[in-house]
Amino acid sequence: MNTTYLLATVKRVLSQLRADKRSLALIMLAPVLLMSLFAYMYSADPIRAQMFNSISTVMTAVFPLMLMFLVTSVTMQRERNAGTLERLWTTNIYRLDLIAGYAIAFAIMASAQALLMILTLRYLLGVETQAPWWISTLIAAITGIIGVALGLLSSAFASSEFQAIQTLPLLILPQFLLCGLLIPRTELPTALHWISNVLPLSYAVDAALNAAQNGANMNVTRNILICLGFALGFLLIAALSMPRQKR
């Protein structure tokens, strides 16, 4: 790994994101607006308003994964279609430098997204949990990083932005369905429960719910470390799979 190329990639990606107002708005504002919409939907009934506390806890893990996947996969494909990657491959940059640079840049954005989302829930929407704000932010940020890793992995096998988006039903929707949001994982059929055990969002949701109910503890730490392991594994596969020639 070359530190110069790595930092240059981070700086370039952050500069591009800063100039792309629509992507920046999607990353920073979409989770806040969606959470506010959910809060308004549940506000008419006191019982449902109480349910929003639990639902919003799960969504702090779901939204970053989905949104960061979309932004990352489309951005990487845009780089390839514009010929940026082909020009980079004429230098001595390594795949790992490129993937790590993108991952760090988007991880910074995921962390900012997570912090804004958690602060909105706590101080504007009045969601109360046992989890310290920094634990909730950390879980949401790591889930966003998993979305970044999956987005980079998706873009390595796609040849267009449309194909990258088409991988969402394969890589993201099964996690959404089996993470415990719709049905508790313990109540899933045995086969689906086994599948949920190998999906990173399941551990992120478990960490978020456990922290909300019991605060920071060893189970939360274990699930966070598992999520980090998934993210690093996906990034490594993406780096090994990233083509160095034009498709």
Give the model's pLDDT for residue 204: 93
* Residues 6+ away with beta carbon under 8 Å from 59: 34, 35, 38, 181
Break the chain into its structural domains and give their ranges. 3-241
Give the model's pLDDT for residue 245: 53
Give the model's pLDDT for residue 127: 83
Q: What's the start-to-end Cα distance of the chain, in Å?
A: 25
pTM above 0.85, yes or no: yes
Question: Could you tell me the two tokens for 109?
Answer: 């954005």
Give the model's pLDDT for residue 198: 92
Give the model's pLDDT for residue 207: 92
Question: Could you tell me the two tokens for 229?
Answer: 């392991």
Give the model's pLDDT for residue 79: 76
What is the mean pLDDT, run by run of 10 residues, along the chain of 247 residues? 81 86 85 88 78 83 89 82 72 79 88 90 85 90 90 80 80 89 86 92 92 88 94 87 59
What CA–CA distance (Å, rounded) separates 219 from 232?
Answer: 20
* Residues 6+ away with beta carbon under 8 Å from 131: 208, 211, 212, 215, 216
